[in-house]
Amino acid sequence: EAGVTQFPSHSVIEKGQTVTLRCDPISGHDNLYWYRRVMGKEIKFLLHFVKESKQDESGMPNNRFLAERTGGTYSTLKVQPAELEDSGVYFCASSPGYWTEAFFGQGTRLTVV
């Protein structure tokens, strides 16, 4: 069974540019989460989808971040325009339900220069 996959693994962009990150969750997992880890700090929650619906987006830092989950399958996270403080590792995770293991992708390392 394929795990959670993320693309790209690395992205270096200039300040002001746009970047789109993609996450393919484990098939059948209704719950999809985006997290971010900045400079070796904690893993911070960004948002949570249940199928195609945004269940909780309280962690999204500002309106430069837009997440979608088309048809309840893969998800994208767009940053537009990117700022220097957006640099970090963006993780996607999926789970089949609440109060159960969340499976993480390998992350996308975003560097904004």
Partner 1 sequence: GENVEQHPSTLSVQEGDSAVIKCTYSDSASNYFPWYKQELGKRPQLIIDIRSNVGEKKDQRIAVTLNKTAKHFSLHITETQPEDSAVYFCAAPGNAGNMLTFGGGTRLMVKP
Determine the interface stretch with partner 1 among 13-21, 68-76, 78-86, 95-103 (rule: CB under 8 A): 95-103
Are the C-beta atoms of 113 and 47 separated by less than 8 Å?
A: no
- Tell the smallest beta-carbon distance from residue 98 to partner 1 (Å): 4
**Residue of 105, 108, 110, 112 interacting with partner 1 (CB under 8 A):** 105
Measured in degrees and rounded to the nearest 5, phi and psi for residue 72 equal 75, 15
Contact call for residue 12 and partner 1 (CB under 8 A)? no
Restricting to residues 31-60, which ones interact with partner 1 according to CB under 8 A? 31, 33, 35, 40-45, 48, 50, 55-56, 58
Q: Is residue 85 at the binding interface for partner 1, with CB under 8 A as the rule?
A: no
Q: What φ, ψ does residue 84 adopt, rounded to 5°? A: -55, -40
Q: Does 65 bind partner 1 (CB under 8 A)?
A: no
Q: Find out whether 108 and 21 touch, Cβ atoms under 8 Å.
A: yes
Nearer to partner 1, 1 or 41 (CB): 41
CA distances from 51 to 18, 54, 94, 105 (A): 25, 8, 11, 18
How distant, in Å, are the alpha carbons of 8, 57, 86, 106 from that of 62?
Answer: 22, 10, 11, 24
Q: Would you tell me which residues interact with partner 1 (CB under 8 A)? A: 4, 31, 33, 35, 40-45, 48, 50, 55-56, 58, 91, 98-107
